[in-house]
C-alpha cells in the first residue's frame, strides 16, 4: 500500500465512506505489501506469467504436490528444482509434470514462449553439465534465449576460443566450472558483459567439495564477475535472467 493508497483510506475515513474499523482492518490486513517491499507480488504486477519457483530438495512428494497445486491457482506455470528422479516419478502420478532429468527440474503448466536477449551458459567439463543445465533451463523458463557452450575448459583453450563468437555476443555469461574454476577468470577477461560464476562440486581431493573453485572465482583477477553458491545453477540462471531483462537506463 503506497502513500497514495494510505491517503485514499484516510480520505475515505475523513469523508465517512469508510468506518474506523474498516480502515483499521484495511491498514492492518496487508501492512507489509503496503510498504511496498513484498517482492513477489510487486514484480507479479510487472511481468505477468513469470513462473513460480519451488525448491524441491528435502521436500516429500506430497509436500511438493500440495505446494504446486496451491501455486497453480495463481495461473502461471510452476518450476520445481532439485527433484530426484524417484520423487519426480511419484509426483507425476498426481500432476502433469514435465521432468528434465539431466538437471532435475520439473515444470508444471505451459511456459511462455517469448524469450529475450541471449545468455551464454559456458561449462568447463562434461561433469559440470548438470549444474549448467540447471542454469540454462532456468533461464529459458524465465524467458531468456540461451546458448549452451559446453566442455570448454581452460586446459584446452582452443576449444573455448573456437566458441568465442557465441560467448562474445551474449548479454550475460554464466560460467560453470569445478576443479580449479579458472573458466570464470578467463571468460571475465574476454567479455565485457556481466559474468555469473557458478563453482561446482566436480573434482576430488583438494577440490574439497567445490571450495577450490569457489575461492578461485571469488579471487578472479577479472572485473565484472559475481559468484553464487557451489552447484547453484538455479541461482545463476535466475540472476542472469534478472540482468538480461534489464531495460535501458533513462
> What are the cell numbers at 250?
533513462
First to last CA, the chain: 26
* Piece of the chain touching a copy of itself by CB under 8 A; list 69-77, 86-94, 98-106, 116-124: 116-124
Given the rule CB under 8 A, which of 71-79, 90-98, 102-110, 204-212 is the region that contacts a copy of itself? Answer: 204-212
User: Which pairing describes strands 172-177 and 225-227: parallel, antiparallel, or unpaired?
Assistant: unpaired
DSSP string, 187-224: HHHH--S-EEEEE-----GGGGGGHHHHHHHHT-SSSS
Residues 69-88 that bind a copy of itself (CB under 8 A): none
* Residue 147 neighbours by CB under 8 Å, 6+ apart: 118, 119, 120, 121, 166, 170
Residues numbered 37-56 forming contacts with a copy of itself, rule: CB under 8 A:
37-40, 42-43, 46, 53
* Binding region for a copy of itself (CB under 8 A) out of 23-31, 71-79, 90-98, 100-108: 23-31
**Positive or negative, the Cα torsion across 232, 238, 241, 247?**
negative
DSSP 99: E
Nearer to a copy of itself, 111 or 228 (CB): 228
- Considering only 48, 57, 70, 74, the residue that binds a copy of itself (CB under 8 A) is 57
Contact track, a copy of itself, 207-226, x by CB under 8 A: xxxxxxxxxxxxxxxxxxxx
Residues 117 and 121: their CA atoms lie apart, in Å, by: 13
90 binds a copy of itself (CB under 8 A): no
Interface of this chain with a copy of itself, residues 154 to 193, rule: CB under 8 A: 154-158, 161-162, 164-165, 168, 171, 179-182, 184-186, 188-193
Nearest approach in angstroms of CB 193 to a copy of itself is 7
Q: Which residue has the cell 510487472?
A: 46
Q: Does 146 participate in binding a copy of itself (rule CB under 8 A)?
A: no
Size of the site for a copy of itself (CB under 8 A): 110
Contact region with a copy of itself (CB under 8 A), list: 20-28, 83-91, 92-100, 105-113: 20-28
Amino acid at each position: 500500500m503506497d502513500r497514495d493508497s494510505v491517503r485514499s483510506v484516510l480520505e475515505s475515513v475523513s469523508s465517512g465512506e469508510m468506518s474506523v474499523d474498516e480502515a483499521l482492518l484495511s491498514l492492518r490486513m496487508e501492512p507489509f505489501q503496503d510498504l511496498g517491499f513484498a517482492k513477489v507480488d510487486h514484480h507479479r504486477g510487472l511481468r505477468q506469467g513469470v513462473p513460480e519457483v519451488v525448491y524441491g530438495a528435502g521436500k516429500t512428494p506430497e509436500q511438493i504436490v500440495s505446494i504446486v497445486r496451491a501455486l497453480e491457482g495463481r495461473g502461471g506455470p510452476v518450476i520445481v528444482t532439485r527433484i530426484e528422479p524417484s520423487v519426480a516419478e511419484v509426483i507425476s502420478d498426481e500432476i502433469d509434470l514435465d521432468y528434465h532429468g539431466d538437471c532435475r527440474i520439473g515444470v508444471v503448466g505451459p511456459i511462455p514462449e517469448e524469450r529475450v536477449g541471449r545468455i551464454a551458459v559456458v561449462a568447463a567439463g562434461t561433469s559440470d553439465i548438470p549444474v549448467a543445465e540447471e542454469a540454462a533451463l532456468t533461464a529459458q523458463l524465465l524467458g531468456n534465449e540461451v546458448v549452451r557452450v559446453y566442455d570448454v575448459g581452460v586446459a584446452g583453450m582452443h576449444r573455448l576460443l573456437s566458441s568465442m563468437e557465441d560467448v562474445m555476443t551474449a548479454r550475460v555469461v554464466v560460467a560453470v566450472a569445478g576443479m580449479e574454476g579458472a573458466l570464470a577468470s578467463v571468460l571475465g577477461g574476454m567479455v565485457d558483459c556481466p559474468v555469473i560464476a557458478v563453482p561446482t562440486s566436480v573434482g576430488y581431493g583438494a577440490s574439497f567439495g567445490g571450495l577450490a573453485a569457489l575461492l578461485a572465482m571469488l579471487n578472479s583477477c577479472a572485473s565484472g564477475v559475481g559468484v553464487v553458491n557451489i552447484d547453484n545453477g538455479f541461482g545463476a540462471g535466475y540472476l542472469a535472467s534478472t540482468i538480461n531483462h534489464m531495460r535501458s537506463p533513462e
